[in-house]
Structure 1
Amino acid sequence: MDEVNAKSKEFAQGSKPLLLLFDGNSIVHRAFHALPPLTVSKTGEMVNAVYGFVNTVLKVAGEFKPAYWACAFDRPTPTFRHKKFEEYKAQRPQIPEELKGQIKLVHRVVESLHIPAFEVDGFEADDILGTLARKANEQGIEVVIVTGDNDMLQVISPGVKALIPRRAFADTILYDEQAVQGKYEIKPIQIPDFKALVGDPSDNIPGVPGVGEKTAAKLLQQFGNLEGIQTHIGEVMPEKLRTILSEHLPRAFKNRELTTIVRDVPVDFARESCHVSTYDRNEVVDLFRELEFTKLLPRLPQHIGEKGVVAGSEVSITAHYQVVN
């Protein structure tokens, strides 16, 4: 815990300003499935995912004290990945009605807190987050991406980290390059190739038969990427693996087009529009009361600091995340 507090203070007091990027849909989905049912007594409306999202925003913002923040959402329309691969995410069930309504409520929360929201037809929130992180980094801004999606680990760099939950929703890990190396034994930039080889059942992306995580990691350690494997296919051992790769590498190359986060989405990162700015606390209080989030009311900041940093709330925020080095 002391290590976590020291790390967050390092961000808050660092020479470079910090941008917090929230993966809206990912956080909402995680909260919906991880938290027990919670309904508004007056209407019966399900709000457990909204509660989880709000709790995450207040906790992380209170701990890291960003100068800038933004949130990205998926659009309901098909993406370029669906056009490339018709079966992309085809196995996923329809979004439950009780979750659809909560996504709309999360938009209301984001708007009331004056957090800029980004969504672009044809792209996923991951792509928007990757693009915003790159553009902010180019302007000398440190970035922490708050998400429930391990796919975001591929955009981690010296100036970009990712805060991701483990099994428990409130138990999160702050990933940097070294932490990714420790988890997968490869560099963040190699993750698209890794997932292209292993596949991704959650996105309905088939992997190379017989290639698991350990084999994929060893291949990438030895050859760097898919091109390296293709160029040195004759060096792949054992022979059975070489034969399988010779047959299925074309599929892996197609997979990588799906597993790679696009970082040139047509969105602009303007410091001014993403600056943590003054908000109407009374408006947010009214919304929280409507949703019956009475326990969260004391944690709302009384004001936003002059430097764009979220001011301390009335009740201290307990962090439940761990820094992995």
Structure 2
Amino acid sequence: MVITKKSKLPANRWLIDASIYIFRAYFSLPPNWQSEDGYDTEAVYGFTNFLLDLCLQAPSRVAVCFDESLETGFRHQLYPEYKASRALPDEALAFQLGACQEVAAALGFACFASDKYEADDLIGCLLAHLTAEPEPVAILTRDKDLGQLLLREQDYLWDYAADVQLYRGDIFEKFGVWPEQMVDYLALVGDASDDIPGVPGVGKKTAAQMLANKLSLAALMAEPNRFASMTFRGAKGMAAKLAEHADQIALAQQLAAIVCDVDLLAAGQTLQPREINFTDAAALLQRLGLGRLTKKLDKVVKLQAGK
């Protein structure tokens, strides 16, 4: 069952997967906005409007995570073919990506980016910090791969635009495995969007059957006799197949696993939104050709001031 934000009290501690919302705007909006430098800024407009809407909901803790490790991340060092099928941003798109990060900072959000770790990893590390407290955390994204982070019942993925939340049980219902099994699941079936190879002949249904009852790949490979009681097609030869592809499986697990153990916060940093400087933020919007959003910005600033 998919749970919407209207059926549960939404968290006010948010971790935002920026690229999802930037590219949604980039591909859905016409190029009706231009910066003073002559660059189209439709993605910046959509992303800024999204952030201002979030500001109006007054989150208590929030971070925006950006992808900058497009060729330099540790996964590329492990496997040069990682995400090789994805085109790199051209100059015009790179301008918009940089401008989105500039806007997020001007609106008081804590921003995180790295040339080693992806946005997913930054979210995983910040989630590990926030889950030291019992309050729920929402991960604003459309990327269901982040479901592997839902180790607590109260945390969820939130597709903000579609107004849909996915909890632990929703991940199981969709994939047939629990969040803590997602890395093993992806190592078996692969991930075409990230160019992560899977085990030949293992599809989604077979992988879910192999990992039923919360089994792990490590347990299956250490105790191959477990396959004797399994009834899916090819079960008898699966132990040999896993052994044959053991190195590939180990690599895929490294590529699919989200990093959660890097301390990203400075001493005393809490992710509490900073007060917006209206003059500076309005000037930035004007420079980016987004002056029509100044009225909404003013509303956010007055909300912050309690007016």
Q: TM-score, normalised on structure 2?
A: 0.84
Partner of 1:288: 285
Q: Select the residue among 165, 177, 180 that pairs with 1:186.
A: 177
Residue of structure 1 equivalent to 2:10: 11
Partner deviation per Cα, 1:10-64 (whole Å, 9 max, x = no partner): 236xxxxx3211222333233323434343186542212212222322334434x
- With over 3 angstroms needed to count, the CA separation of the structure-2 counterparts of 1:215 and 1:270, relative to structure 1, is farther
Taking the TM superposition and a 5 Å limit, the aligned residue runs for 1:99-178 are 99-156=93-150, 157-164=152-159, 170-178=161-169
Instruction: Report the AA paired with residue 258 of structure 1.
Output: L
Q: Distance in 1 between matches of 2:282 and 2:240?
A: 63
AA at the equivalent of 1:78: T
Q: Is the 8 A contact 1:55 1:296 kept in 2?
A: yes
- The aligned amino acid for 2:205 is K
265-274 or 136-145: bigger deviation: 265-274
Deviations for 1:270-317, whole angstroms, at most 9, x for unmatched residues? 6655212321223323333333335534433133547xxxx79xxxxx
- Name the residue aligned to 1:85: 79
Q: Residue in 1 aligned with 2:243? A: 246
Asked if 1:66 is matched to 2:67, the reply is no
Whole-Å separation in 1 of the counterparts to 2:91 and 2:112: 23
- Aligned partners of 2:4 and 2:165 also within 8 Å: no
C-alpha distance in 2 between matches for 1:44 and 1:148: 31
Q: SS state of the match for residue 20, structure 1?
A: strand
Partner of residue 299, structure 1: 296
**Mapped contact 2:5–2:164 kept (Cα < 8 A):** no
Gaps of 5+ in 1: 13-17, 313-325
Q: How has the CA–CA distance of structure 1 residues 185 and 289 changed in structure 2, closer, same or farther, with 3 Å as cutoff? A: same
Letter in 2 for 1:248: H
Cα RMSD of the aligned pairs, angstroms, is 2.7
Cross-structure match for 1:320: none
Match of 2:46 in 1: 52
Relative distance call for 1:28 and 1:233 in structure 2 (3 A) is: same
- Secondary structure, in 3 states, of the residue corresponding to 2:197? coil
CA distance in 2, matches of 1:35, 1:245: 46
> What is the aligned-residue identity percentage?
30
Residue 163 of structure 1: SS of its match in structure 2?
strand
**TM-score (norm: length of structure 1):** 0.80
Aligned partner letter, 2:296: R
| Cα displacement (A) at 1:244 | 2.9
* Of 229, 235, 251, the match for 2:220: 229
Q: Which position in structure 1 is the counterpart of 2:264?
A: 267
Please state how far the C-alpha of 1:145 moved relative to its aligned partner: 1.4
Distance 2:31 2:271 in 1: 33
Structure 1 pair 284/6, CA: closer, same or farther in 2 (3 Å)? Answer: farther
Deviation at 1:160, TM superposition (A): 2.6
Aligned residue type for 1:163:
W
Q: Distance in 2 between matches of 1:280 and 1:80?
A: 36
Once the two structures are overlaid, the 10-residue window that deviates more, 201-210 or 236-245, is: 236-245
Is the contact between residue 146 and residue 162 of structure 1 (CA under 8 Å) also seen in structure 2?
yes
Return closer, same or farther for 1:70/1:207 CA change in 2, 3 Å cut-off: same
Q: 1:59 to 1:221 in 2, by over 3 A?
A: farther
What is the alpha-carbon distance in structure 1 between the residues aligned to residue 197 and residue 222 of structure 2? 23
Residues 271 and 188 of structure 1: CA distance in aligned 2, closer, same or farther (over 3 Å)? farther
User: Retained in 1: the 8 A contact 2:109–2:273?
Assistant: yes
Residue 198 (1) aligns with residue 189 (2): yes
Instruction: Give me the whole-angstrom Cα distance separating, in 2, the residues matched to 1:48 and 1:226.
Output: 45
Counterpart of 1:283 in structure 2: which amino acid? D
List alignment gaps of at least 5 residues for structure 2.
Answer: none
Decide whether the 8 Å contact of 1:123 with 1:265 is kept in 2.
no
